[in-house]
């Protein structure tokens, strides 16, 4: 097996351009470029180290997720001294939601640096957030906690963390609706079925019933998206009552 450095040096990517763009994204000079190359390596490349372990961004993604969670938790703990555990957990979830991480990854155009055998157009939305987390993991291993914390403050906390706005932000309309139904002792049912329609891509339709009455309908390219869309429509129909538990 080749050494990791030899494997990456054999790639067609021009290291100089990658270094310059990476430095622009980070705001500081990276030391160990191998960390960052791994952060942008998709599993489809099927690269392994000398021991046969896979080399891709997934382990760094795990590490970056933990770093982001820790930094955000620390920030909230300091900024909201009156918040209990439940409040702090809910607020952190809003900041590190998959939707928000995907937006951060898109904003930095991280996907443009991915090494993959899969065409970029075939990736799902979550690739953007996955890369952002992997980048955080690489920063931590390359420069340590302080640099990772500084990057998170620059890219996440300072521009996007507004406590008052976050308090009213809904992460999942479905979860919120279920919580409301359980609290109010209402029955609910998401009736999901294939919706062939005239679309080239497969769609799913959903009928959301509360107390055996259909209150919302929606369709999307996945069951999860269809349920969330229907729940969102139901939320606005019952907003006055549901808002009391946010």
* Cα separations in angstroms, 53 against 10, 50, 120: 19, 7, 25
Highest mean predicted confidence (pLDDT) among 98-107, 133-142, 210-219 = 133-142
Rounded Cα–Cα distance for residues 225 and 221 (Å): 7
Strand, coil or helix: 191: strand
Whether 227 is a known active-site residue: answer no
Do the Cβ atoms of 236 and 227 come closer than 8 Å? Answer: no
CATH of domain 4-167: 1.10.1520.10
Rounded Cα–Cα distance for residues 125 and 110 (Å): 12
DSSP 115-162: B-SS-GGG--THHHHHHHHHHHHHHHHHH-HHHHHHHHIIIIIHHH--
Q: Does the predicted model carry a pTM greater than 0.85?
A: no
Q: 65, 149, 227, 228: which is the annotated catalytic residue?
A: 65
Confidence at residue 225, expressed as pLDDT on a 0 to 100 scale: 86
Confidence at residue 9, expressed as pLDDT on a 0 to 100 scale: 52
Q: 34, 61, 115, 133: which is the annotated catalytic residue?
A: 133
Sign of CA dihedral 222, 227, 233, 239: negative
Rounded Cα–Cα distance for residues 28 and 58 (Å): 24
* Fold of the CATH domain 173-245: Double Stranded RNA Binding Domain (3.30.160)
CB atoms within 10 A of CB 4: 16
Confidence at residue 12, expressed as pLDDT on a 0 to 100 scale: 44
Q: Residue for token digits 């279920």? A: 178
- 53-69: average pLDDT: 97
Whether 133 is a known active-site residue: answer yes
Q: Where are the domains of the chain?
A: 4-167, 173-245
Indicate whether 6 pLDDT > 60. Answer: no
Judge whether 4-167 and 173-245 match in fold. no
CB atoms within 10 A of CB 32: 12
């Amino acid at each position: 097996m080749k050494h990791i450095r030899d494997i990456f040096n054999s790639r067609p990517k021009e290291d100089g351009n990658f270094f310059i763009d990476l430095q622009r994204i980070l705001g500081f000079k990276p030391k160990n470029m191998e960390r960052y190359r791994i952060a942008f390596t998709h599993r489809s490349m099927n690269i392994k180290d000398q021991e046969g372990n896979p080399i891709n961004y997934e382990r760094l993604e795990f590490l970056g997720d933990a770093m982001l969670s820790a930094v955000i938790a620390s920030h909230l703990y300091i900024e909201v001294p009156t918040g209990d555990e439940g409040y702090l957990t809910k607020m952190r979830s809003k900041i590190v939601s998959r939707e928000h991480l995907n937006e951060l990854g898109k904003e930095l155009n991280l996907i443009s640096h991915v090494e993959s055998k899969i065409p970029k157009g075939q990736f799902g939305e979550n690739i953007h957030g996955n890369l952002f987390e992997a980048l955080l993991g690489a920063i931590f291993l390359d420069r340590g906690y302080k640099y990772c914390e500084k990057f998170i403050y620059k890219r996440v906390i300072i521009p996007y963390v507004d406590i008052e706005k976050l308090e009213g932000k809904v992460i999942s309309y479905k979860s919120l609706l279920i919580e409301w139904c359980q609290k109010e002792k209402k029955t609910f049912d998401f009736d999901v079925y294939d919706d062939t329609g005239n679309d080239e891509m497969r769609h799913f339709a959903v009928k959301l019933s509360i107390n055996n009455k259909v209150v919302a309908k929606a369709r999307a390219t996945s069951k999860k998206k269809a349920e969330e869309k229907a729940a969102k429509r139901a939320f606005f129909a019952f907003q006055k009552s549901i808002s009391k538990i946010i």
